[in-house]
Amino acid sequence: MAIYSDVRKAIRKAAIASLLDFFPTTVEQDKFIIFSNGNGTEPVESYVVINILSIEQQGHASTSTQTTTDFNILVQGAYEILVQFSFIGSLSGDMAQSFTQRINNNPLSLEAISRNKLGLMRKSQIRRAPQKRDTKWVEYHNMDVTFNYIVNTEQAVDWIESVIVDSEQTGVFTIPEGIVIP
């Protein structure tokens, strides 16, 4: 199971849906919507960095009370993932404002989030944080978004073929009946 990789892909697809005005083609999306710490070269034009800050399980897992026909038990855990989106470059303010509007309000963005099995929990305000690079300032805008997702796993379990009860009061009986006691 590649849970972390699936979540990364889902977050990126949700970000793309909210930034189509700035990055309409797949080539632009691949070049300008990137994950942090990717060891690539920094784009010359305005771009977006996705940084997964934390993943935290919420509550305890939910476990099925019955097994499947394959004798597997189903376990479901809820998680929240905190993601920082950084918008960098001369268009960073416009990108950040458009992103915050679309990710929370646009039906197409919300559909992309849902289609990728995420839920939008909350988002922060946009924070302006310009950075000095050599001799000039570069515009940076950051915001945090908290998504939730559910992880479903299956666990094989052994089953009980028979039960033997030996009691002085009731004697010996077996479930199902007719089991030979060794």
The string of pLDDT tens digits covering residues 84-131 is: 999 999 999 999 999 999 999 999 999 999 999 999 999 999 999 999
What was the pLDDT predicted at 8?
94
What was the pLDDT predicted at 33?
96
Q: Where are the domains of the chain?
A: 3-175
The Cα 177–Cα 164 span in angstroms is: 10
User: In sequence order, what DSSP letters do the residues of 48-113 get, joined into one string?
Assistant: EEEEEEEEEE-S--EE-SS--TTSEEEEEEEEEEEEEEEEESTTHHHHHHHHHHHHHH-HHHHHHH
What was the pLDDT predicted at 55?
93
The Cα 48–Cα 17 span in angstroms is: 13
* 118 burial type by CB count under 10 A (0-12 exposed, 13-18 middle, 19+ buried): buried
The stretches in the chain having pLDDT less than 70 are 1, 67-68, 159-167, 169-182
What was the pLDDT predicted at 24?
96
- Would you say the C-alpha torsion 36, 41, 43, 44 has a positive or negative sign? positive
Provide the whole-model pTM. 0.81
What was the pLDDT predicted at 177?
66
What was the pLDDT predicted at 119?
95
Provide CATH code, domain 3-175.
3.30.2000
The Cα 49–Cα 89 span in angstroms is: 11
What phi-psi label fits residue 95: left (phi over 0), alpha (psi between -120 and 50 degrees) or beta?
Answer: alpha
What was the pLDDT predicted at 84?
98
The Cα 34–Cα 146 span in angstroms is: 18
What was the pLDDT predicted at 172?
64
The Cα 95–Cα 21 span in angstroms is: 9
